[in-house]
Structure 1
């Protein structure tokens, strides 16, 4: 029997299988509000048969956006717009639906990738002054961010908590906190971006303090019993930066606070990173964290093949696998993986006639509203 298609428990939430659709920025929102593009994009992914769909990095404030077109959950308009998408998914798919709450930190006020991705000046019509732990620019030639003071730290914590309350009102099944890829909470963790001399900088315990405070605030604000977990970069891929040993210590601290899982990625903090890409290149980091902490662990990064994904889960390297680009290329990846591994997958009855005759019994009817 396929291990990839076994259920997985996240807090009180039961996932139908161990395939996770990773959050993928779409740069297609209007003033933080989801558009028809999000209805199409998330709608098709919700029909994929995966166990969990995580909506893209969703800013907790306007200055927390990566780009002016980033999704947000900081206003009533944002909440209504995302609610429209959530309601549609709920009507037509049994998939568990979560949101990734994020603050871009010094990597904010940027163009969309297809427009070049460069920093937008604060005095430009669509730009703003970014904020971070320290006034250290992300890359040479960029304007340094404003260092957050005590009042700013409180505002950011409160913004995360307020977004978590909105997620609870929308009935979302879980929250992933983005503490990876060089965004604000990762910037606090890494000594490359955190040069503070107060209680939020210096030692590992001090650098972890603010991200842990944000976790606590979100956990307290979100629906009791529903899972909250964290995405973390296990290494900066830069000498003297954040590394696996610090990641394990951070994961252990999160575990004591009730974190339901750890989603292990890498990089994103520094343009000086040196990454050797290969299939599943980040999986060994997930394996290290899982072995050291015993936490439910999600692996991600160039996982594209069904047998590869099955081996990761079956060998105990991780409890689940997350796919991003592979899912964009093939939104029915879980169907094809189930066929290859001799498993069953949920599909809408409207699509039952689509599978080849040799895969009779591949589909099971979706039951909505059961978690």
Structure 2
């Protein structure tokens, strides 16, 4: 008995140390709503994806050469000559896709259950900023192999800044590091691609701190101040199930279909004299790209992309519904699945040629995207208030 008492005293003395106390409070004894389901595990999976991307990126950077004459060859050197290089490359390339899949699922879960509403507005805003930085980081990473699609994708996207009045041409010159996409551009992109993941990691810590400050949401959309249990061991088991399933899904692509999520033209060295017939970004950009090209005016297209993220950032303030979860709102649930389908439709349109009927379909899908966030979401609260008052009168 005395021995057990001594061991328990040692355990509690360790927990009381500052670092271990923080870890214990936030990942062991952290109180969580008892009714959260497996969909709440995608936040931790996103953290795992970020660690994988940073770790593999550091090792890849040891062998990569950011020079227009050597970049493509250095990537091939990593694949063919570096011990385990092929695995690092495929983990990093497919890891970007996995990261976006998990983050999109995480955000759509928040959208369905109203996790962006008070008091979690700041939590949602930080999440949108992280998504924006992920898109920028993934785009400049897509340029680094210096294949055909890398070069021409960078040419198309960076030239969009020229549409900005007065300062547009100066921004393009700064991005390029000169008057064309060349070695200075590649060096700039490599430096930013190495830096931004650490910025994302810092914001992820802020995101996690805000989550623990305001608490997790739950499927009922009710207050999470009551009926809580410790994160460990109940929710670690749920998280572990998702982690294992995700690892198997990730491994399937890495080992059996490593190139299916990329573009074949990127295995051709960049050639400024040969424009590909159809320039497309990676799949996780396609919904944004479809909105951009649905508008014939370049400046208006850039403005539409800015409006996409403004709409997402403003979502907590646009929503006026007192009921958070879509489980209790059939109409909102119907429009929620419409916006999910709309995003899939935009992604499909983004990879199609710029011709009819894809142009008109893309324009209609783009209009609905903004209608949903700027008109339909703000209208839910007013409609629900009216229905409540009408039912009370009856």
TM-score (norm 1): 0.29
Higher relative contact order (CA 8 A, sep 6+): 2
The structure whose residues are more often strand, as a share, is: 1
TM-score (norm 2): 0.27
| Larger radius of gyration between Structure 1 and Structure 2 | 2
The structure whose residues are more often helix, as a share, is: 2
